[in-house]
Structure 1
Amino acid sequence: ELMAVDNNPYSLQIIINKGTLNDVYESQPVLDDKGIAGQIMQVGSTNSRVLLITDVTHALPVRVARNNVRLIVSGTGSLNELIIQHVPHSTDLNEGDLLLSSGLGNVFPEGYPVAEITSIVSDEGRPFLQVKAKPIAQLDRLKYLLLLWTETDSDQSTQDVNP
C-alpha cells in the first residue's frame, strides 16, 4: 500500500508499506493493476522506496507488441510522459503502439504493459525520431501496488521457511 509520495519536485518516488520483513529487495519490479509502475530503490525493515518509471533517472527496455521492435523508454520527470531516444527514422512505429517489457536487463519480466506511444515527430534535420509515450500504469492514482518475485526468489524463501 502507498504510504507517502516524495515531495521533491525533481524526483518521482513513493514509499510503500513493505520492507525486508516481507522479503522485499532492491530492484524488485512494482506494478499497479494496469502495468509496470517502477522498481524498488531502497529497502527498510517495514517500508521501501519505489523509483517510478517516469523519474528522469529511470530507463526500461521494452518491445513494441505489434512487431517486437526493441527500444528503451526513459522518464521525463512528468508523471504522464516517457520518451524514447535514439530511434532511427526507418523504425516501424505508430502512434498507439503498445510497449511491453522486453525481459532484457533482468529486472522486469517479459510481457508486462509499460506505455503507449502518443507522438512521433520525424524531423529529417535531426538524427533520430522524437518519440513520446504515456505510461499504462496510473502513476498519479496509485494506492495499492503489486511486487513481483522471481521464481528463484520464491523458491529460496520457501526453503528458508521450511528447513
Structure 2
Amino acid sequence: MAYTGNASGSLFAEGGAGTLKLLMYLTMALVLMVADHRGGYLDAVRAAAGMLTGPLYMIASSPARLVTATRDQLASQQDLLRENRELREQLLRGSARMNRLQAVQIENQRLRDLLGGTRGLQLSVQLAGMVDVDLDPFRHRIVLDAGQQRGVRVGLAVIDGAGVVGQIIATTPMNSTAMLVTDPSHAIPVQVVRSGQRSIAFGTGRLDALELPNIPLSADVQVGDELITSGLGGTFPAGFPVGRIVSLQPDDTRLFVVAQAHPAATLERNGEVLLVWNTGIEDTRDEMGPPAPDAAPTAASPSTGGGP
C-alpha cells in the first residue's frame, strides 16, 4: 500500500506543474492573438522571420528547381535539334527542286535558242543529239543520232543556238557524221555584216579559230566585225552567224590581209544541234521531225532514167 501511495502522490505533483504550464502558454497565446488581431503588432515580427526563413526555403527548393530547369533545357534542346533537322531536310528538298527547275530552265532556254536561230527564215529544221565527238588536231567531226531514216542527207547545214557548227558529210540509216567549221579541210562562204565584204573562212584545226586568207588590202574589214553565212554555194542558208574577227595581219606577200576569227558556235559545249535546209517559197512550215520528201530527200540515190 505504501508503494502505491507514494507513486500516486509523485505523479499528481508532476501533473499539476504540467497543467499549470499549459494554462500559462494558452493564456499567452490568446493574448498574442488578440493583440495581433486588434493592433497588428506581430506584422514586423513575421516580416523579420520571413527574411530569415526565405533563404532557407530557396536552399531547400534549389534541387527541385535545378532538376526542373535541366529537364526544360534538355527538352528545349531536343526540340531545337528536331526543328533544325526538319528545316535542314526542307532546305535540301528545296535545293533539289530548285536545281531541277534551273536545269529545266536552262534546257528550255537552250532549245529556244536553237529554234530561235531559224525564226523568220523559210527553213526546215530537225533536232539531233550528239553521240560522239572526234576533235584530234587533223579533223573535227561529230556523230549525230539522226540518219537516213529521219531524212538526213549529205550537205545539210548544222547549227546551234549561237551559230554555224558545220555540215553533214556522211550518213547511215541511224546516224550521220558532221564536219565542224574548224576542221582543217572545211571552208564556208562568209560575209561581213557591217560592210558586206565577202570571203571564205577556213578551219584551222583549233576550236577557237577560223582563218580568212587573201583579203584585199582595200577591203573594208575591221577587228570586231561579225561574220555571217553569205548563202553562196547553196550549202549554208544565208544569215547565220559564223564568227567574229579578232585580228588582222598582212600575209607574206604584203598584198593581202589574213584575218583570224573566233567561231560563234559553242563547239566544245554542244549537246544538241539543228539540221537546217532551205525550203521553197510555197513551203513555209517550220516543224520538228523528219523533213518532207519534197523538202529534204533522203540519202542521195542514183538518178534513174526516164522519159521527158
1:117-132 → structure 2 map (5 Å cutoff): 117-122=245-250, 126-132=254-260
Q: TM-score, normalised by structure 1?
A: 0.91
Show structure 1 runs of 4+ deviating over 6 A: none
Match of 1:109 among 227, 232, 237: 237
Asked whether 1:97 is paired with 2:225, we answer yes
Once the two structures are TM-superposed, the CA of residue 6 in structure 1 deviates from its matched residue by: 1.6
1:3-152 → structure 2 map (5 Å cutoff): 3-6=131-134, 8-122=136-250, 126-152=254-280
Counterparts of 1:85 and 1:75 in 2: how far apart (Å)? 11
Q: How many residues align?
A: 160
**Cα distance change on mapping 1:88 and 1:7 into 2, 3 Å:** closer
Secondary structure at 1:21's aligned position in 2?
Answer: helix
Once the two structures are TM-superposed, the CA of residue 147 in structure 1 deviates from its matched residue by: 0.5
Counterparts of 2:135 and 2:216 in 1: how far apart (Å)? 37
Q: Which is worse superposed, 76-85 or 123-132?
A: 123-132
Q: TM-score, normalised by structure 2?
A: 0.49
Q: Which amino acid aligns with 1:74?
A: F
Counterparts of 1:112 and 1:61 in 2: how far apart (Å)? 11
Counterparts of 2:238 and 2:203 in 1: how far apart (Å)? 19
Once the two structures are TM-superposed, the CA of residue 19 in structure 1 deviates from its matched residue by: 0.3
The structure in which a higher percent of residues are helix is 2
Cα deviation 1:63-112 (Å, max 9, x = unaligned):
10001110100000001100001111111111110001000011000111
Counterparts of 1:135 and 1:61 in 2: how far apart (Å)? 14
Match of 2:294 in 1: 156
Secondary structure at 2:178's aligned position in 1?
Answer: strand
Once the two structures are TM-superposed, the CA of residue 123 in structure 1 deviates from its matched residue by: 6.2
Conserved in 1, the CA contact under 8 Å of 2:130 and 2:144?
A: yes
Conserved in 1, the CA contact under 8 Å of 2:137 and 2:206?
A: no
RMSD across aligned C-alpha pairs, in angstroms? 2.1
Q: Radius of gyration: which is bigger?
A: 2
The structure in which a higher percent of residues are strand is 1
Q: Which amino acid aligns with 2:238?
A: E
**Cα distance change on mapping 1:150 and 1:86 into 2, 3 Å:** same
Cα deviation 1:26-76 (Å, max 9, x = unaligned):
010000110000000100111110000010100010110001110100000
Q: Percent identity between the aligned chains?
A: 37
Structure 2 gap ranges (5+):
1-128, 281-290, 297-308
Higher relative contact order (CA 8 A, sep 6+): 1
**Cα distance change on mapping 1:6 and 1:20 into 2, 3 Å:** same
Q: Which amino acid aligns with 1:29?
A: A
**Cα distance change on mapping 1:91 and 1:142 into 2, 3 Å:** same
Q: Which amino acid aligns with 2:278?
A: T
